[in-house]
Structure 1
Amino acid sequence: MKVREVLLRRSRLPWVIAAALAVVAGIAVLLVAVLDEPARPHYCSCRPPPDTSAVEQVPRDWQAAAAHRDAQAAWRLLTPEAQRRYGTPGRLRSALARIAPDPRGPAEWRLVDTVTQGRGTPSTFLYLLVEKRTLRPAGAVVVHSMAAGAADGRVDPAPAATVRIVEPAAHAKLGDRPPMRAATADPPVYVAVQAGRVTFGTAGAIRGPDGRDAPFTEPLRPGPTLIVAVRNDGNGRFAYGSVRVTIR
Structure 2
Amino acid sequence: MRVREVLLRRSRLPWVIAAALAVVAAAAVLVVAVLDEPARPHYCSCKPPPDTSAVKEVPRDWQAAAKHRDAAAAWRLLTPDAQRRYGTPGRLRAALARIAPDPRGPAEWRLVDMVTQGRGTPSAFLYLLVEKRTLRPAGAVVVHSMAAGGADGRVDPAPAATVRILEPAAHAKLGDRPPMRAATADPPEYVAVQAGRLTSGTAGAIRGPDGRDKPFFEPLHPGPTLIVAVQSDGNGRFTWGSVKVTIR
Establish whether TM, by shorter chain, passes 0.5: yes
1:26 corresponding residue in structure 2: none
Could you tell me whether the CA contact under 8 Å between 2:139 and 2:158 is conserved in 1? no
Report the AA paired with residue 185 of structure 1.
Answer: A
> For 1:69 and 1:154, how far apart are their aligned partners in 2?
18
1:163 maps to what in 2? 163
Rg (Cα) greater in structure: 1
The answer to whether the Cα contact below 8 Å between 1:126 and 1:140 also exists between their aligned partners in 2 is yes
Alignment of 1:1-248 (within 5 A): 46-248=46-248
Deviations 1:56-102 (A, max 9, x none): 00000000000000000000000000000000000000000000000
Residue in 1 that maps onto 2:39 = none
TM-score normalised by L of structure 2: 0.82
Deviates more, 1:220-229 or 1:196-205: 196-205
Q: Which amino acid aligns with 1:128?
A: L
Unmatched 5+ residue regions in structure 1?
Answer: 1-44
CA offset digits 1:134-178 (Å, max 9, x no partner): 000000000000000000000000210000000000000000000
- TM-score, L = length of structure 1: 0.82
Q: Are 1:205 and 1:214, in contact at CA under 8 Å, matched by a contact in 2? A: no
1:209, distance to aligned residue in structure 2 (A): 1.3
Query: C-alpha displacement at 1:205, in angstroms?
Result: 3.9
Q: Provide the C-alpha distance between the structure 1 equivalents of 2:108 and 2:229, rounded to a whole number of angstroms.
A: 18
Pairwise CA distance, 1:204: 1.6
Instruction: Report the AA paired with residue 230 of structure 1.
Output: V
Secondary structure of the structure 1 residue equivalent to 2:82:
helix
1:46 Cα deviation (Å)? 1.1
Question: Secondary structure at 1:156's aligned position in 2?
Answer: strand
How many angstroms apart in 1 are the aligned matches of 2:198 and 2:174?
Answer: 17
Work out the CA distance in 2 between the residues paired with 1:211 and 1:129.
30
Query: In structure 2, what is the equivalent of residue 9 of structure 1?
Result: none
Instruction: Using the TM superposition, give the Cα deviation of residue 50 of structure 1 relative to its aligned residue in structure 2, in angstroms.
Output: 0.2
Note the aligned Cα RMSD (angstroms): 1.1
The number of residues matched between the two structures is 205
Question: In the alignment, residue 145 of structure 1 is paired with which amino acid?
Answer: S
Identity over aligned residues, as a percent?
Answer: 89
CA shift digits 1:111-149 (9 cap, x unpaired): 000100000000000000000000000000000000000
SS at match of 1:214: coil
Partner of 1:31: none
SS of equivalent residue, structure 2 residue 217: coil
CA distance in 2, matches of 1:217, 1:87: 45
Q: Give the whole-Å Cα distance in 1 for the aligned partners of 2:101 and 2:49.
A: 29
Secondary structure of residue in 2 paired with 1:64: helix
| 4+ runs deviating over 4 angstroms | none
Partners of 2:195 and 2:132 in 1: CA distance: 7
